[in-house]
Amino acid sequence: MLTPDGQSARKIEKVMLLSLWANELNERFTPKDKKMIFAGLGRPTYPINQRTIKSYLNYWQRLNDISTQWHSNPEAVLDNPAIDYGDPRGDKEPRKIMAERMSQWYETEIKPEHILFTVGGIGGLRAIFDTFNSHFEDIPGYRIITPFPHYSVYSNDPMHQLHPVHVMNNPGYKLTAQSMRESIEQAYELAEEDKGYPQAILLCNPSNPLGNTIDEEELVKIAALLREYPDLYLIFDEAYSELSFKPIPSFLKIAPDLQKRVIILRSATKALSAAGERMAILLVFDPEMMNELLNKNINYFIHVPRSAQIAYAETMASFDHHEQSRLSTYYEKKVLYVLERLEKMGASMPDPHYKVEATFYALGDFSDLFGLPMPKEALQVFQKTDTVKTDEDMAYYLLFNDALMIAPLSYFGLERNSGYMRITCSATDAELEELMNRLEQRLVIARQIKKENLIHVINNHASQIKDQDTHVYELVITKIAPYLSSESNSFKLKEQIKSLTEMRDFVEDCIKIMK
């Protein structure tokens, strides 16, 4: 695969490569072209928290006042008019404020020494992974156990291997302790062969990309399970914690005895609408692990910008139930609209129990797009074109043909032939409507082609039967007649394809019997 600049994309994270192409095409478009709709990345649209803005303004206003005074009378200025280096963990006051707020959030005591500010969630993950790489350097290819599908960045570190907890066969695609037990046991069995013994469990809660949460009952069982495996760390990626549509139980409260093995990542990226400011924290309770993480933090960037530390801390201090309710309601409404449209067009996920309980993502089943011819323009990406055979093909098909960017679930660890796609539901109502209209129209076109192909196959098979069994032939012709008229409703087309597929199978069975 290639980048828009014609360079090899082999080492570029897949979602970001898709984004590069979406932005490139958007720049090439003329006013007559369709507007590119970006629904493939985490994209907050709720206004940035007012407390964040106020905190930044206060920070810079104070420095402006000191600087102005210094230029008038340097000897009268007691405070440093420059921004000096701070504590690599984070300044004392922001860590104190954040510790107090996190203590309230998790209903357990969290101290300032448990707080480490990092540059965004990805910065926090990199610090964790690199720390583990050093900590377990004598275990090459060590395993990190995580539910599949998973956040795409988890798989970017070459030193560890992700071991799946399979949730797609569970009701609602929910994580269960039983699924985790099976995964842990399998990981240890495989490690007997390759020595890549598991060292941590990584849970994205709420889940990106699934958008669901871990039930309290399962967290209690997971805690009991972890007590059987005292060598495993437990990492919680809670980047979307504030975007939950229902309360999330505190694991620290459920299992205080496991606190020392727990690392929690929190981020302001999505929930506080501050993706570009790169604000995040790690909660770390093992002093030795904290020291190693701090060392990585220092090596990367010394410390997080001091303005961002106090802005994040003060924002969280004022982020109460009412603010969270306004935030979650804003996104939940958009998610429900997309899920409703997916259901009406016959593109819902196969499991009827699947519900989005947090985030601004929704999953859809677009497997009916398989088999469509890839656009010639996709040569720029793949250097060859064929038909849509994978969900990655599907993503670029929609990008070039319909000016839509949505993310394939294979980028999150699922099979490439599932046809499942993640839709970011944070756009304006008008943009979401246009997004779903384009997807529905593309499904209609694909399903019409499938329907016509099935009718053609059935008619050919029927002609083979005619001379051998007139009754069966007439039965087939009678049954197929209602499907010969055109249909533009996406859901009805899906139902017709299902019936025609059964009819085709029946006719093929008849031919086999007659032979």
Residue 422 is classified by DSSP as E
Instruction: Compute the C-alpha angle 90/96/100, nearest 5°.
Output: 130
The predicted pLDDT at position 33 comes to 81
Q: How far, in Å, are 147, 251, 264, 449 from residue 176 at the CA level?
A: 10, 15, 20, 40
CATH number of 50-321: 3.40.640.10
Tokens coding 505: 């199978």
167 neighbors 173 (Cβ within 8 angstroms)? yes
- Helix, strand, coil share (%) of the chain residues, nearest 5: 55, 10, 35
How far is Cα 316 from Cα 323, in angstroms, rounded to an integer?
10
Sequence-ordered list of residues with C-beta below 8 angstroms from that of 370, at least 6 positions apart, any chain = 387, 388, 389, 394, 417, 419
Q: Is the distance from CB of 391 to CB of 409 less than 8 angstroms?
A: yes
Judge whether 132 and 158 are in contact, CB under 8 Å: no
Strand partners, 119: 279
Fold (topology level) of 14-46+323-428 = Aspartate Aminotransferase, domain 1 (3.90.1150)
Separation between Cα atoms, residue 194 and residue 140, nearest integer Å? 9
pLDDT at 78: 85
Strand partners, 423: 362
Q: Let me know: does 15 contact 422? Beta carbons within 8 Å.
A: no
**3 state DSSP class of 496:** helix
Contacts for 52 with CB less than 8 Å, ≥ 6 apart: 268, 272, 274, 277, 311, 312, 314, 315
Dihedral sign, Cα of residue 170, residue 176, residue 178, residue 182:
positive
Specify whether the CB–CB gap between 394 and 471 falls below 8 A.
no
Residue closest to 365 by CA, chosen among 381, 354, 349:
349
The sign of the CA dihedral 324, 325, 326, 328 is: positive
Instruction: Give pTM, 2 decimals.
Output: 0.93
Asked whether the beta carbons of 211 and 361 are under 8 A apart, the reply is yes
pLDDT of residue 272: 86
Nearest alpha carbon to residue 258 among 281, 239, 292, 286: 286
Give the torsion sign (CA, 296, 297, 301, 303): negative
What backbone torsions phi and psi does residue 492 show, to the nearest 5 degrees?
-65, -35
| Three-state secondary-structure class, residue 38 | strand
d(CA 283, CA 251): 13
Residue 286, CB half-sphere, CA atoms under 13 Å: how many?
A: 15
Burial class (CB in 10 A: 0-12, 13-18, 19+), 324: middle
Q: Would you say 280 and 120 are in contact if contact means Cβ atoms under 8 Å apart?
A: yes
Query: On the CB side of 193, how many CA atoms lie within 13 Å of its CA?
Result: 4
- Say if CB 428 and CB 362 are below 8 A apart: no
- In SS3 terms, 161-218 reads as EEEEEECCCCHHHCCCHHHHHHHHHHHHHHHHHHCCCEEEEEEECCCCCCCCCCCHHH
Tell me how far CA of residue 200 lies from CA of 76, 121, 138, 379, in angstroms.
55, 18, 15, 41
C-alpha–C-alpha distance, residues 427 and 331, integer Å: 9
H or E element in which residue 144 lies: strand 143-148
485: three-class secondary structure by DSSP: coil
Positive or negative CA dihedral for 94, 95, 98, 99? negative
Strand order in the sheet with 361-365: 361-365, 420-424, 407-408
Helix H or strand E encompassing 124 = helix 120-135
Q: What element of type H or E holds 506?
A: helix 490-514
pLDDT tens digits for the chain (515 residues)? 999 999 999 889 999 999 999 999 999 987 778 899 999 998 899 999 999 999 999 999 999 999 999 999 998 888 888 899 999 999 999 999 999 999 999 999 999 999 999 999 999 999 999 999 999 999 999 999 999 999 999 998 889 999 999 999 999 999 999 999 999 999 999 999 999 999 999 999 999 999 999 999 999 999 999 999 999 999 999 999 999 999 999 999 999 999 999 999 999 988 789 988 999 999 999 999 999 999 999 999 999 999 999 999 999 999 999 999 999 999 999 999 999 999 999 999 999 999 999 999 999 999 999 999 999 999 999 988 899 999 999 999 999 999 999 999 999 999 999 999 999 999 999 999 999 999 999 999 999 999 999 999 999 988 888 888 888 889 989 999 999 988 899 999 999 999 999 999 999 988 888 87
User: In 261-390, which residue ranges form alpha helices assigned H by DSSP?
Assistant: 287-301, 306-318, 321-344, 379-382
